[in-house]
Structure 1
């Protein structure tokens, strides 16, 4: 029995190694796991992964390392295949280092006529929460008088567009909330919605 377990463990280690090496290249979209859902990935990450990893930030590992780690930890955390793909999508989009080609397909498509609420629900809610108070520790609370919304529109637009590391947060907000399809008009629209909904 131990011999079977040892062989299975060795095969798993080799598979993970090959998985990590394969995804470490920039060969193309076919080399990456099927795209997941950024929003759900953020929720799964916050509800499962940070229990043991204390919200290790996406910048601490390369994309190929996150992929290998996610597949390795899938069983331990009891995640489904879809949840694992969602977490990988969240991590790759949140990683402010160069992201290999193929991972950009993960972004939510933003309709040019999308409302601020739609953009917030598709791009922002996973981290900032439905109540604007933050979905996990370190996320800025939009409802505070001295919070993020006390800054000027130009500062907030810049932070959304280019990403931002909030003081006390273990994880930076990725550029455009991790959604490369979010354009300047969409950023202004969602900022107006955030101010109207959570501001004072």
Structure 2
């Protein structure tokens, strides 16, 4: 269980991986008539020596760690708890986002997915491509300065724009797949949303998105 959690991203602290802490104790349970306990018998009180495993995990890998832990654990019902170590003190704005796809994709399928999400993008790849891509970091516009941050989060891919030669070299050294979808390609998709927002303010000037017929263009 400990190794499965570590392989999925739990226990990464600085330059160390698979970090965890154990607490030993006794577990007690009674299974009902539909249960199939690995230890003891259904309907009887069972007391078993157990080990509580504690490990840190970031939000990007949390769901994957939980799934790996459940798959590796022998119990029919796995007891676990997720505790947040940071209490939000109000709304915080970030330049980027990290998330996880419902299913892992190979490189070709991932490229098609990115192209569909960013139809105006001219996509280029840099760095090292993993066999499967599921956890993703992104920053629209020129976000090459955050390549190291993306690598530190152990994501499978980082989507941004304006990736230069030395940025691509850095991604390769860090073992990270970087998708350069262009400055325009990663930001053009917000035009219609901004238009709708401004129109909702009932301004005294006409507002149109860049891809609509308009008398004025701001580049």
What TM-score does the superposition give when structure 1 sets the normalisation length? Answer: 0.27
Bigger relative contact order, structure 1 or 2 (CA pairs below 8 A, ≥6 apart): 1
What TM-score does the superposition give when structure 2 sets the normalisation length? Answer: 0.26
| Higher-Rg member (1/2) | 2
